[in-house]
């Protein structure tokens, strides 16, 4: 009935490829974030152990406040990038599903027409 199976499965293959690319992108971003946080933690631990007096403590605390501010701003920026990526991903999945539905509908209609002609 459905002669062009490869044609019909093409959108599903594209979705699988899109999912793989999206997962790889997220994993890479998480790995980069973990490396960054580890390096930051090591640097802050080193800075904390280097405190020798009140001035050193004040400098450390000021640096921590600045790091917190910068971290919050980075988290907001990263969240926006993630939201944009998710939106683009969802739009692509919807497009591929619509293409798939159109292809299946067309193939089924053609198969029904052929079946009706053979029956007549």
Write down the mean pLDDT value for the chain. Answer: 90
DSSP 56: H
Q: Is the pLDDT of residue 45 over 70?
A: yes
Q: Using CA atoms, how far apart are residues 77 and 32, in angstroms rounded to an integer?
A: 15
- Going from the C-alpha of 114 to that of each of 8, 100, 111, 120, the distances in angstroms are 18, 21, 5, 10
Predicted confidence (pLDDT) per residue in 50-71, tens digit: 999 999 999 999 999 999 999 9
Report field, pTM of the whole predicted structure over 0.85: no
Assigned token pair, 39: 């390096």
Predicted confidence (pLDDT) per residue in 85-120, tens digit: 999 999 999 998 888 888 788 888 888 888 888 887
């Amino acid at each position: 009935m459905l002669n062009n199976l490869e044609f019909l499965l093409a959108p599903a293959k594209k979705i699988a490829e899109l999912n793989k690319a999206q997962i790889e992108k997220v994993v890479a971003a998480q790995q980069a974030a973990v490396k960054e946080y580890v390096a930051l933690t090591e640097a802050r631990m080193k800075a904390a152990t280097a405190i020798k007096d009140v001035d050193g403590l004040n400098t450390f605390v000021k640096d921590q406040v600045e790091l917190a501010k910068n971290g919050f701003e980075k988290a907001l920026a990263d969240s926006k990038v993630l939201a944009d990526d998710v939106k683009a991903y969802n739009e692509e999945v919807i497009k591929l599903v619509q293409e798939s539905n159109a292809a299946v509908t067309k193939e089924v209609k053609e198969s029904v027409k052929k079946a009706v002609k053979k029956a007549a």
